[in-house]
Each structure stands twice: as C-alpha cells, then as structure tokens.
Chains A and B, each alone.
Chain A
Amino acid sequence: MYLRGVFIDDTFAEAFTVRVARVLITARTLRWAREAALKLTGFATSVIGCKCEAGIERELAPAETPDGRPGVSVLVMTMGKDDLSNRLVERVGQTVLTCPTTACFDGLPDAPDRIGVGSVLRFFGDGFQASKVLRGERFWRIPVMEGEFLVQEKFGMQKGVGGGNFLILARSADAALDAAEAAVAAMTPAAGVILPFPGGVVRSGSKVGSRRSKKMIASTNDAFCPTLRAATQTALPEGVNSVLEIVINGLDAGAISRAMRAGIGAACRDGVVSITAGNYGGKLGPHHFHLRQIMAESTEAHA
C-alpha cells in the first residue's frame, strides 16, 4: 500500500495492556497547570527505565474542570495496579502538591477501580488536614505555606493500551524529523492518547535483550540503525538513512488507532520512504495495530 508515494508496510504494531489513571491538574492560570503537568510527566517515557509512562493528554478550558479554573489532563500508565498507586502518590506529591495554586482531581470518575492518592498525601498535613465529602467523593484540604492544596482522595484506574507505535523511514535525518513533527502535530489533539517520549518522538528504538550483557533487558534496535547497515542484518530498505519512531499510549485501542491514522497520514510526505511498525511476532501483547487496516480508510491510500 502507498500513501502519497510512501510505502505502508504490511505489518502491525504490537501493544500491551497497562493500567491507566487520568489526572486533572488545575491552577489559577494555565501556565501553572502546565508547569505542574510538565513536572509530573517528566522522566516518564518508558516503564523499562522510568517505572511509568506519562504524558499530557490535552489542555482543559475552565468550563471542563471541577473547580472552574484552567487545567491540564494527564495520563499516567504502569504495568501493574500497585505500581500505579505508588507512582501517582510520588509524582502528585512531588510535582503538583509543590506547585503554586494547583489542585488535583480524578479524570476517570466512572472507572470502578479506585486507587488512593489524596488518602496518602493527606499525611503531609501532619494532622491539620481536613476533608469534605461532596457528591459522594472525598476531597482533602492539605494546608501548605501558600494556602491549601486540594486533592481528591481516590482516582479511577482502568485498563489501557501501551506501546502503540509506527516507524518513519526517511532518506535523511532532516526528512525523518520533519515527518515526525508533522505526525505529532496531527496526533496531539486526539483525545485519550499520549505520546510519552520527548516531543512525542523516539530516536532510539530498542530490541529485547542484549548481545553482550545479560543484565540489559533492552538494547539498540540495530536492524534499524542506518550506521550499522553493513554490519548487521538490516531491516532498512535502500535509500533509508534515518528512522524515527512515534510511540502512542491510550485509554483504549480505538483511541490509538485513530491517532495512528492521523499521525501516519501526516508523516507521509517528501523524503519519507516507508512507514513500518515494531512488533515481537505477536508474543508480547494482545493489541495488534495493522498499519494497512488502519490506513485503509484513507482516501489517498492505494495499492
């Protein structure tokens, strides 16, 4: 399949099930909500090294937030249930509690699984904290030097999908980056997804394990490294000199499919040779995103 002259590989992205929470951060101004959200989602690119994956989902207008102030919606994902609770407590406690004027609310009120966040952070109040139950939900008021930090006691947790991806194979590094930036711009408005890597883009895709060290659980994906073309069993077609990957996590497979369709569509431009995806032969995760099925609805795609 081709889209604007770019070959769409007949393969699939393989993704796995994660646990996800949606954190709504509000503040007096959008700037301070963003400051807290950027810190909260910092160092959260991959569960391999960061224990969680997190990203900004979107900005929220005052009418969309529980307290009528501007806000930011963040998704945080982990592999296990207990991990998610721990990561939220650590990150909200260190990055939102500390940030001027912020408050923190649950963004998945309908999720049946509830994990404690405010119920743990309240101990920072050293006995001076107070709570209120409003419409069946408990909120903690934790006194801080600025005034009060308001945080919801429990946050919803649901199953999500992590590791959706596609690779942009381009003639040059510049062309790969231009295409990746266009893809990220097209995917950013999509609801229910995050792109956890820097700017949404990964340059260091990995393979499982290592040739040299048993301790390494992941190492460079040498088959896609252009500088190793002659030294390894390369997967790069002729003329490809740079590869960038987009990783997408989402609340569900549908959200990832929609985002991938928008992203791949935008990435198919001059200088890009093909689009492919990373998988492990179907052994890693239950979610398979077949590129050609996803792009079949594109009117510009052809055989």
Chain B
Amino acid sequence: MSTLRLTLREPPAQRVDLSPLSADHLAGKTPAQVAAIELATGNRKIRVDDLFTIAGDFGSELEIRGGCEKLDRIGAGMTHGHVIVRGDAGAYVGAGMRGGVVEVHGSVGARAACAMRGGVLHVTADAGDFLASALAGERRGMRGGTVVVGGNAGDRVGDRMRRGMVLIEGDAGDYCASRMVAGTIAVAGRVGGFPGLAMRRGTLLLLQPPAALVATFNDCGEHPNLFLTLLVRSWRTLPGRFGTLPDGRLRARRYMGDLGNDGRGEILVWV
C-alpha cells in the first residue's frame, strides 16, 4: 500500500480547508496533479504544494506531517481510505465522513465527526466542543460510525446525535449527550455538568459516577446488563482503553431521562 506524504512547510496564516485531500479526490492522481489541487483559505485559493512538500504516491493512504490547528475539514465527507495526521488538526475533522479511517496523532478542534455517517475517527489527544454533533444549523448530529478520543473532549459531545459510537477515554465537558436522539457515548473519565440534558433516547455510559445529574433523570436502580457485554465485545478491535474492558457479568446503575423530553434515554453508570 503506497502512501502519499504531505509535510507542512509552515503553519498557514489563515485556516485552510483540506477536505479535497481525501481518497475520493486523490485516487488516480499523479503527484503533480495532487500538487495542483486548490485549497480554500480565507477568500482565496492556494495550491497543495504552496502548503506542503509532497512525497510518495497515493494508494489508499494519506499522511499529513506537521499538523496544525488551522488545518480544517481533514477527511470531511470521505467514503474510504486512510488518513493519518501526525500532529494537531483543526475543526470539522471527519465531518460528514461516510467510511474509511482518520487517525489524528494529536488534538482536533471543534465539531470533529459532526454529521458523521460511517467509518472510524481516532484522536489520540483531545477533541474540541461539539464532537459528533450536528453541523451548525442542522437538526441531525452524528448518525453512524465510531469515534475514539484518547484524551478529553469539550462541551456538547454528541449534541443531537442519532446513531453511532463515541468513546472518550478522558473527561467530557458540560452538556455531554445533550439533545441526543440515539446512539452510544461512553466516557471513561469525569463528565461535566448537565449530562444528557434534553436527551430523548440513546445511551450515555459513564465509567465514573457523575458529580451531579439534572433533576429530570430518575434512578432506576443497579442491574446486571447483558447488552453491555455485547457492547464491550464490539469494541475489542478498537484502539485504547475501551478495547480492553472486561466483558463478563457487567452491572450498571440506570438513570432514565431526560423526562422533560420524551425520557427514553439512559445514563448508565458502570458498577
């Protein structure tokens, strides 16, 4: 498998949209053609080779070296292929992604994986606000795929999310799973204030008890939960801590809510 390697010459002055650098656009292009691809930055366009040095050929893998928080929309809308970012990435990483794998060895900005439909996004460090949520102004958030965050995530994780899996090994900010319609969010660290606010359905799994819950979540007690076994087993192939959790005779305390908004969601606290 040949890899196309793009090395950042220097951090750009303005934000740059890297969504044209996905397998869907790169397939069949020579290095010269890749160099000529235009990227939007501010109110103008720049060529790929203005921003990066280019090495290798594109098979199905793209490696971006020397990441920067101004590199936006990496892997946005991609349907297949493998993107590796060595360093940080900007906003909207994996937005609207439908397939393939995006691996960020660093942190990502706001709205990563928003409106994601499939594939895997793995962030080894932190993620910004509105992870796996909806695009601004849209009513449907993440609706498929898997997100693994090795560090912490910001506020509003999974806002309006309706399908898929988000696994956060560190802490999550305030309003985690707010307005969630369905899907699964798991947080190994602490969770901020107001988890599950206005949640309709779906599961927020917490490996640590929350400091407080909103008043519209009701305690349904502690129970053995067989579905957690299947859930944990489905993570076995994923990187990080969630892939190594025990899967036998699992129990969880179940809080149902948000009773102010349909109330069929659940916050499960791992026992």
Chain B associates with chain A: yes
- Name A's B-contacting residues (CB within 8 A): 66-68, 103, 127-128, 130, 132-135, 139, 141, 147-148, 150
A290 to B167, CA, bound (A): 58
Within 8 A of A (CB), among B181-210: 184, 201, 203
Tell me if B218 counts as interface (CB < 8 A to partner A).
no
User: Chain A: which residue is nearest B184 at the CB level?
Assistant: A132
A55 to B184, CA, bound (A): 37
Contact B230 A134 (CB under 8 A): yes
Contact B203 A147 (CB under 8 A): no
Contact B266 A68 (CB under 8 A): no
Contacts A132-B184, A135-B234, A150-B230 given; does A68 touch B201 at CB 8 Å: no
CB neighbours of B227 from chain A (8 A): 132, 139, 141, 148, 150
Contact A134 B231 (CB under 8 A): yes
Contacts A68-B248, A148-B226, A150-B227 given; does A134 touch B234 at CB 8 Å: yes
Q: CB within 8 A of B163: which of A103, A133, A141, A148?
A: A133
Contact B231 A130 (CB under 8 A): no
CB neighbours of B41 from chain A (8 A): none
A134 to B231, CA, bound (A): 7
Q: How large is the interface on B (under 10, 10 to 19, 20 to 34, 35 or more residues)?
A: 10 to 19
A67 to B233, CA, bound (A): 8
Minimum distance in angstroms from A207 CB to a CB of chain B: 48
Q: CB within 8 A of B230: which of A66, A127, A128?
A: A66
Minimum distance in angstroms from B166 CB to a CB of chain A: 14
Tell me if B239 counts as interface (CB < 8 A to partner A).
no
User: Chain B: which residue is nearest A66 at the CB level?
Assistant: B230
Q: CB within 8 A of B225: which of A66, A68, A127, A148?
A: A148
CB neighbours of A134 from chain B (8 A): 230-231, 234
Q: CB within 8 A of A150: which of B226, B234, B264?
A: B226
A198 to B229, CA, bound (A): 36
Residue of B184, B203, B227, B247 contacting most chain A CB atoms (<10 Å): B227
Contact A130 B266 (CB under 8 A): yes
- Name B's A-contacting residues (CB within 8 A): 163, 184, 201, 203, 223-227, 229-231, 233-234, 247-248, 264, 266
CB neighbours of B226 from chain A (8 A): 67, 103, 148, 150
CB neighbours of B230 from chain A (8 A): 66-67, 132, 134, 139, 150
CB neighbours of B264 from chain A (8 A): 127-128, 130
Minimum distance in angstroms from A247 CB to a CB of chain B: 35
Minimum distance in angstroms from B73 CB to a CB of chain A: 27
CB neighbours of B225 from chain A (8 A): 148
Assuming A139-B230, A141-B227, A148-B225, what are 16 further A-B pairs, CB within 8 angstroms?
Answer: A66-B230, A67-B229, A103-B226, A130-B201, A130-B203, A130-B264, A132-B184, A132-B203, A132-B227, A132-B230, A134-B230, A147-B224, A148-B223, A148-B227, A150-B226, A150-B230
CB neighbours of B201 from chain A (8 A): 130
6 tightest A-B contacts by CB?
A: A134-B234, A67-B229, A150-B226, A135-B234, A141-B227, A150-B227
Q: List 29 A-B contacts (CB under 8 A).
A: A66-B230, A66-B233, A67-B226, A67-B229, A67-B230, A67-B233, A68-B229, A68-B233, A68-B248, A103-B226, A128-B264, A130-B201, A130-B203, A130-B266, A132-B203, A132-B230, A132-B231, A134-B230, A135-B234, A139-B227, A139-B230, A141-B227, A147-B223, A147-B224, A148-B223, A148-B225, A150-B226, A150-B227, A150-B230
